[in-house]
Amino acid sequence: MATIDFNDANNDGEGVDFLAYLNTWGTTFTPGYYGFFSTNPVDFSGNQFAVADSNSATVGGVGGADTVVIDSGSAGDLYYDMTSHVLAGAVDGATFGQGLSYNAGTDTFSQSSWDIDISGLGLTGTGAANPVHNFVYGIMQGNPANLISVLNSQNNTFNGSSGDDVIYSFDGNDTLTGGDGYDRFVFSGTDGNDVITDFNAAQDIIDISAWAAGSALSVTYAYDTVSGLYDATITDGVNGSISVQDIANNSLVSGLNLFV
C-alpha cells in the first residue's frame, strides 16, 4: 500500500493538484544526464537514485532544478545490472521536489524543498522489463504513466497539504485525507471502496461527476457512537463507494459540496 504525502512548499495556500502536477512535470522534466547513485560517477548501486531536470553531470551542479529522488527502502538495494543492462532490486518510493545534495555517510540524497513524497510502493524485480526498471526509466524519461499505473494497481493513502489540494481516487480502495485548505476529492468512475477521513462540508468538495450516476446515486448516513457524528456512504452500485467519515447528518448537498 502506497502513501502519498503533499507539501505546500511555498506556503501560498494553493496546495497540490496531484494529476495536474504530474502532467506538468511530464511535459517539462527533461533530464540531460542519466542520474546519480551518489557523487561518484562510476557508482552503480545505492540506497537511492536521483534524477534532475538539468544537464549537470555532477550532483553539485544541479542547483535548484526540479529533481526526483527514488528510494529503495533498503540499504544498497537499487542497482544497475551490468549483465542484463537494466535497473533492478527494489523501489519503495519517490520524492518530487527541487535541488539536490548527497550525504556519503548515510548514502542518501536531500532536496532543498519537496512537493510530493511517495512511499510503500513495494516494487522488486530483476531482468528485462522488471517493475523496478520500468518505474525508474519512466521517471528518467519524464513520463508519469508507469507511476500512475502502479498506483492504480494497489490501495493508496493520500495525505493532503496545508493548502487547497485536489486529491484523486485510483482503482483500489483508497484512504483520502485533505488536511487544511479547501480540498477537492475527485472520483474517476473506476474507483474502489474509498474513505474520506476529514471532509469539511463548509469548504471541501466531492466530485463524482464522472460517475454519471443520475437516479442511481445513493447517499445514506449512519450515526457513529464514537465520534458523535455521522458517516455517509455514497454509491451508485457500479463505481465503488465512498465513505465520508465524521460529518453532520445530511450535510452533503448536491451542487454545493457534492458535484454529481
Name the β-bridge partners of 90.
124
123 shares its domain with 173: no
Determine the pLDDT at residue 74.
75
Mean pLDDT to the nearest integer, 68-72? 98
Residue 75: pLDDT over 90: no
Can you tell me which residue has the cell 465520508?
244
137 shares its domain with 166: no
Indicate whether 11 belongs to any domain.
no
Indicate whether 17 belongs to any domain.
no
Can you tell me which residue has the cell 469539511?
200
**Alpha-carbon gap, residue 169 to 211, rounded angstroms:** 12
| pLDDT over 70, % of the chain | 99
**Alpha-carbon gap, residue 256 to 233, rounded angstroms:** 17
Strands 48-52 vs 166-168: parallel, antiparallel or unpaired: unpaired
pLDDT digits (tens, 9 = 90+) for 36-64: 999 998 899 999 999 999 999 999 999 99
**Per-residue DSSP letters for the chain?**
-EEEEE--TT-SS---BHHHHHHHHHHH---SS--BSSS-TT--EESEEEEESS--SSGGG-TT-EEEEEE-SSTT-EEEETTTTEEEEEE-EEEEEE--EEETTTTEEE-SEEEEEEE---EEE-STT-HHHHHHHHHHTT--HHHHHHHHTS-EEEE--SS--EEE--SS--EEE--SS--EEE--SS--EEEESS--TTT-EEE-GGG--GGG-EEEEEE-TTTSSEEEEEE-SSS-EEEEEEE-TT---BTTTEE-
Mean pLDDT to the nearest integer, 139-159? 98
34 shares its domain with 136: yes
109 shares its domain with 38: yes
Residues contacting 81, CB < 8 A, separation 6+:
87, 88, 126
Tell me how many domains the chain contains: 2
pLDDT digits (tens, 9 = 90+) for 118-142: 999 999 999 999 999 999 999 999 9
Indicate whether 123 belongs to any domain.
yes
Mean pLDDT to the nearest integer, 74-98? 93
Indicate the length of the chain as a whole number. 260
Mean model confidence pLDDT for the chain: 96
136 shares its domain with 166: no
Give the type of residue at 55.
Answer: N
pLDDT digits (tens, 9 = 90+) for 7-39: 999 889 899 999 999 999 999 999 999 999 999
Mean pLDDT to the nearest integer, 166-179? 98
Residue 76: pLDDT over 80: no
Full residue range of the structural domain in which residue 81 is found: 30-141
Least confident residue range of 71-85, 123-137, 192-206: 71-85
Determine the pLDDT at residue 79.
96
What pTM value is reported for the model? 0.96
**Alpha-carbon gap, residue 36 to 47, rounded angstroms:** 11
136 shares its domain with 168: no
